[in-house]
Amino acid sequence: MVVIGGGDTGSDCVGTSNRHGAISITQLELLPKPPTERTSYMPLPTYPMILKTSTSHEEGADRKWAIATKEFIGDGNGNLKALKLVDLQWTASADGRPARFTEVAGSEREVPCELAFLAMGFVHPQHSGMVEDPAVELDERGNVKATEKAYQTSIPKVFAAGDMRRGQSLVVWAISEGRECARKVDEFLMGSSQLESKDASLMAMMLG
């Protein structure tokens, strides 16, 4: 099986596949392989984008970087049998970070695959439709602009939370923000709320 995506979700897919007895596991990442230590464009106290090896990876996986998936190839009966891949050549920006890529000529090939997990992130929520029609304000990353304090957008009766507000993140953040946003909506409508606050929920989890 092949995991397309090299982040935390991809790592979870690797671990789950190992526990389910996958014969072989390959994990693909679009970006080039990150360094193992901080570089000049990762000064303290910025968060370092360095190579991470999770416990799932330690269980076994063939990790590959700077590779794009171009096509899913079926067997004619609705079953996946292979992926068409291509190597990527990245060009760095002025600060040394990967900026743009081109496909490496002649590197296209097919690899056997019976099961593919899509563990890819996204840049920002889709703007057409629900975001553009009411013309809510966006932040510099293209997410719906709303503070963590109120979860209220530039349109007073429209609220946003989770990936829509903070960008791609973990499901635990979606759960936390969804509950807190619901409390803020309740306060907006009723003047107060009896729903549990985020801090109270966290304390309850810590106390078991």
DSSP string, 58-91: HH--EEE-SEEEEEEEE-SSS-EEEEEEEEEEEE
Q: How far apart are CA 187 and CA 176, in angstroms?
A: 17
Which bin fits 132, alpha (ψ -120 to 50), beta or left (φ > 0)?
Answer: alpha
Closest CA to 83 of 112, 107, 106: 112
> Taking residues 110-138, what's their average pLDDT?
90
Give the confidence band of 198 by pLDDT, cuts at 50, 70, 90.
Answer: low
Q: Measured between alpha carbons, how far is 7 from 169 in angstroms, rounded to an integer?
A: 10
Which token pair is 118? 């899509």
pLDDT greater at residue 74 or residue 195: 74
- The token pair at 40 is 């000049």
Give the global pTM.
0.69
Residue 140 has pLDDT above 90, yes or no: no
The pLDDT assigned to 172 comes to: 87
Span 149-174, pLDDT tens digits: 899 999 989 999 999 999 888 788 88
Question: Residue 186: is its pLDDT beyond 70?
Answer: yes
Say how far residue 20 (Cα) sits from the centre of its chain: 23
Instruction: Tokens 């002025």: give the residue.
Output: 94
The 10s digit of each residue's pLDDT in 14-73 is 999 999 999 999 999 999 999 999 988 888 988 888 999 999 999 999 999 999 999 999
- How high is the pLDDT of residue 199? 61
Whether 203 has a pLDDT exceeding 60, the answer reads no
The per-residue pLDDT for 144 is: 95
pLDDT digits (tens, 9 = 90+) for 82-118: 999 999 999 988 777 778 899 999 999 999 999 999 9
